[in-house]
Homo-oligomer: A and B are copies of this chain.
Amino acid sequence: MTTPTRREQILATAAALFARRGFHGVAVTDIGAACGISGPALYKHFASKDALLAELLVGISEELLRVGLERVEAADSPRAALDALVDWHLSFALDHRDLIVVQDRDWSSLPDEAREQVRSLQRAYVDVWADRLRELDPDLDLEAARATAHAAFGLLNSTPHSALLPDAAMRELLHGMALRGFGVA
C-alpha cells in the first residue's frame, strides 16, 4: 500500500497497454507517455522493452505456481485441493486481467531465455493440477490430465475477455463450471 515506485508504475501501465493493443502494438514512447515521462527514460529502469515483458510474464508464472503449491499443501483432500486451485486461479485472473491477456497473447514475443523459463514454470503449474486430477481418478493418464488442466485454464481465463458479470457472480459461475467439468461437483 506504499506509493508505488516508478519501476512498478511502468510495469503496471505497460501491462495495461500490452493487454489492449498487444506487445508489438505499443511503442516505448506510449508507455513513457502513460507514465508522465517520455520515451527513452524507460531505459533507466529496464534493459529493453523485451526485458520489461519478460519481467511481467516470469513474475506471474512464478506467482501462479508458488501460491498454487501453497494452496494444495493446505488442502486435506484431492477434491479440496482442486477446489482451492480453481479459487486461487480465479482470484488471480480477476485481479490481474491485463496480465492474463498478455500472457497468452504475447508469450511468443519473449526473448528465448525468458520464454523457456515461463514455459517450464507453466508446465510445473499444469502438473500441480494434473497430479490432483490423477489422485482423484487414478485411471486418468498423465497427458489427458494435463489436457484437462489446460482446458480449465482456458475456461477460467475467459473472464478477462468477456467481463460480462460483476466479479462475484463471474467467480461463482466459472468456479461451478470448472468443478463440474472435472466431474467433482
Oligomer: number of copies:
2
Using A173-B144, A180-B180, A181-B180 as known contacts, say yes or no to A109 and B22 having CB atoms under 8 A apart: yes
- What is the 8 Å Cβ interface bit string for chain A, positions 160-173, against chain B (1 contact, 0 not)? 01101100011001
User: A143: shortest Cβ distance to chain B, in Å?
Assistant: 5
Q: List 20 A-B contacts (CB under 8 A).
A: A21-B108, A22-B22, A22-B24, A24-B24, A105-B105, A144-B164, A147-B162, A147-B173, A148-B177, A150-B158, A150-B164, A151-B156, A151-B158, A151-B159, A151-B177, A152-B155, A154-B155, A154-B156, A155-B155, A155-B181
**What number of A residues sit within 8 Å (CB to CB) of B?**
39
Interface residues, chain A, with chain B CB atoms under 8 Å away = 20-22, 24-25, 104-106, 108-109, 143-144, 146-148, 150-159, 161-162, 164-165, 169-170, 173-174, 177-178, 180-183
Q: How far is the CA of A162 from the CA of B20 in the complex (A)?
A: 24
- Main SS at interface, chain A: helix
User: A26: shortest Cβ distance to chain B, in Å?
Assistant: 10
Whether A144 and B165, one on each chain, are in contact in the complex, defined by CB atoms closer than 8 angstroms, is yes
Q: How far is the CA of A159 from the CA of B20 in the complex (A)?
A: 24
Give every chain B residue within 8 A of A173 (Cβ-Cβ): 144, 147-148, 151
